[in-house]
Amino acid sequence: MEKRPFVTKEKLEEIAEQYPTPFHIYDEKGIRENAKKLKEAFAWNPGYKEYFAVKATPNPFILNILKEFGCGTDCSSETELMMADALGFSGGDIMFSSNDTPAEEFQFAHKIGAIINLDDITHIEYLEKAIGEIPETISCRYNPGGVFKISNDIMDNPGDSKYGMTTEQMFEAYKILKEKGAKHFGIHAFLASNTVTNEYYPLLAKILFELAVKLKEETGAHVKFINLSGGIGIPYRPDQEPNDIMAIGEGVRKAYEEILVPAGMDDVAIYTELGRYMLGPYGALVTRAIHEKHTHKEYVGVDACAVNLMRPAMYGAYHHVTVMGRENDPCDHKYDVVGSLCENNDKFAIDRMLPEIHKGDLLYIHDTGAHGFAMGYNYNGKLKSAELLLREDGSVEMIRRAETPKDYFATFDFCDILEDLI
């Protein structure tokens, strides 16, 4: 099985004449079709809302596309809150899910009316001190601990995660918050990352639905929404089957009907906070081969580096690579595809079988639409690339310009030591 780019070699060469490589490019048509399908999958729940995880792709052009489909935003910092607010997402359309949160960020979230999702029971007192009250609508993040399994497969280890409250703390938190004036409650949990199985969301939903029933029974709290957060993954490898969002939505519906409806809780809204699923496959990093090296291994050096996509360096993550124009050639050359950072882990692919690569070839690195550009940094003085949007009509729009040296030196504008560079 082979992954196919959403743009042709001829189109990329044309784009590269105006916007030099490397650059991230996004597929508007794919983004729209995917958002529409997600909405259909959960249409059975009248209160359903997707709160897009801004951290995955923090670009206002992307957020505005998702806004057309009724999506809200999941923010984890003040700057993300500022972006959502500036784009016209109103209070209830913004979820503030953060951890180890500074008081000023709670204050700003409260000021714009965002729904605050508390990561820890000690944050109740901290929040009340920061904003002077407890909001009427509030959410608590749950962590059941232990190891999360589907069948006999370990999916993740919540017990080793810094996020969320224990089961006992959830009940105590609800009681305290209710006493302090909270009237509507949410439950939020994230138990596994990048799952490529249709079973994850329905199983998570069952856990949270059963918890919601017990919380209502024991505390009398009105559970307004249950946020399944993220975790629905994408097939980074060509031999993986993609998730079926319609089957996932149906699985959650069945759990809802079996658990919440008999408990008289058929007014509970289902929320999601998907990032990777929403954008991952609809973005790519396009880079050009500029060097080759023949030593103990065969290396291809490209003009991108881990600054542009750090997942392979940070996690050893797999991203498929297509050599544009050589899709039908045999993959009979073994390469490390590397960037120019002074770090040996700056590699997009290791011992990867690819067609023969020549200097000047365009390489299309798949599935960078989420946690790609967003995780960039400036190590070695490297500058972040442009972001481009391939519109449905085939035109290309720059949605973020590439950084310049002036941007890199901008934080020295308080003094004259580098004034010639600013």
269 in the same domain as 294: no
Look up the CATH number of the domain holding residue 150.
3.20.20.10
The pLDDT value recorded for residue 213 is 98
The amino acid present at 181, given as its one-letter code, is: G
Q: Is 342 a catalytic residue?
A: yes
One domain, residues 293 and 153: no
> Which residues are within 8 A (CB) of 244 and not within 5 positions of it... i.e. 6 or more apart?
198
* 182 in the same domain as 198: yes
Q: 142 in a domain, yes or no?
A: yes
Is 325 strand, coil or helix? Answer: coil
Structure tokens at 76: 């984890």
Q: Which of 172, 173, 168, 170 is nearest to 189 (CA)?
A: 170
Alpha helices in 2-97 (DSSP H): 9-18, 28-41, 60-67, 78-86
Q: What residues make up the domain containing 331?
A: 281-412
Residue 159 lies in a domain: yes
CB count in 10 Å sphere of residue 325: 16
- Give the per-residue SS3 of 233-259: CCCCCCCCCCCCHHHHHHHHHHHHHHH
Q: Which two tokens stand for residue 306?
A: 């881990």
Sign of the four-CA dihedral 154, 159, 165, 170: positive
304/25 Cα distance (integer angstroms): 14
pLDDT at 147: 74
Indicate whether 244 and 299 sit together in one domain: no
The rounded Cα 62 to chain-centroid distance in angstroms is 13
Distance between CA 59 and CA 399 in Å, rounded? 8
Q: What is the largest CA-CA distance in the chain?
A: 70
Can you give the pLDDT at residue 156?
Answer: 58
- 290 with 232, same domain: the answer is no
**Boundary (domain end) residue, out of 245, 279, 313:** 279
Q: How far is CA 236 from CA 57, 75, 164, 243, 389, in A?
A: 17, 25, 28, 12, 21
What is the C-alpha separation between 292 and 300, in angstroms, rounded? 5
In a domain, 4, yes or no: no
Nearest residue to 318 (alpha-carbon basis) of 304, 334, 337: 337
What is d(CA 422, CA 417) in angstroms, rounded to the nearest whole number? 10
Amino acid letter, 416: D
Stated pTM of the model:
0.95
Whether residue 253 is found in the same domain as residue 350: no
Looking at the fold, whether 218 and 327 belong to one and the same domain comes out as no
Q: Does any domain span residue 274?
A: yes
Q: Compute the CA torsion angle 405, 407, 413, 416 (nearest 10 deg).
A: 0
Domain boundary (248, 279, 310) is at 279
Does residue 421 form part of some domain?
Answer: no
Q: Angle at Cα 221 formed by Cα 220 and Cα 225, nearest 5°? A: 145
Residue 3 included in any domain: no
The encoded tokens of residue 421 equal 């560079």
The answer to whether residues 133 and 155 belong to one domain is: yes
Whether residues 190 and 250 share a domain: the answer is yes
Kindly state the tokens that stand for 223. Answer: 């559970």
- For residue 119, give the nearest of 165, 174, 74, 80 by alpha carbon: 165
Residues 115 and 263 in one domain: yes
CB 45 within 8 A of CB 270: yes
Beta-carbon neighbour count of residue 166 at 10 Å? 15
75, 140, 305, 342: the active-site residue:
342
Q: How many domains does the chain have?
A: 2
Is residue 70, in this structure, part of any structural domain at all?
yes
Report the pLDDT value the prediction gives residue 88, as an integer from 0 to 100.
97
One-letter amino acid of 301: G
Q: How far apart are CA 91 and CA 95, in angstroms?
A: 8
CA distance readout (Å), 196 to 179, 231, 331, 372 = 41, 9, 26, 19
The pLDDT of residue 153 is 57
Q: Are residues 35 and 82 in the same domain?
A: yes
Q: Is residue 343 part of a domain?
A: yes
From first to last of its 422 residues, the chain has per-residue pLDDT tens of 689 999 999 999 999 999 999 999 999 999 999 999 999 999 999 999 999 999 999 999 999 999 999 999 999 999 999 999 999 999 899 999 999 999 999 999 999 999 999 999 999 999 999 999 999 999 999 998 877 666 655 555 776 778 899 999 999 999 999 999 999 999 999 888 889 999 999 999 999 999 999 999 999 999 999 999 999 999 999 999 999 999 999 999 999 999 999 999 999 999 999 999 999 999 999 999 999 999 999 999 999 999 999 999 999 999 999 999 999 999 999 999 999 999 999 999 999 999 999 999 999 999 999 999 999 999 999 999 999 999 999 999 999 999 999 999 999 999 988 888 88
CATH at residue 327 = 2.40.37.10
Q: Which of 279, 313, 348 corresponds to the end of one domain?
A: 279
Same domain, 267 and 321: no
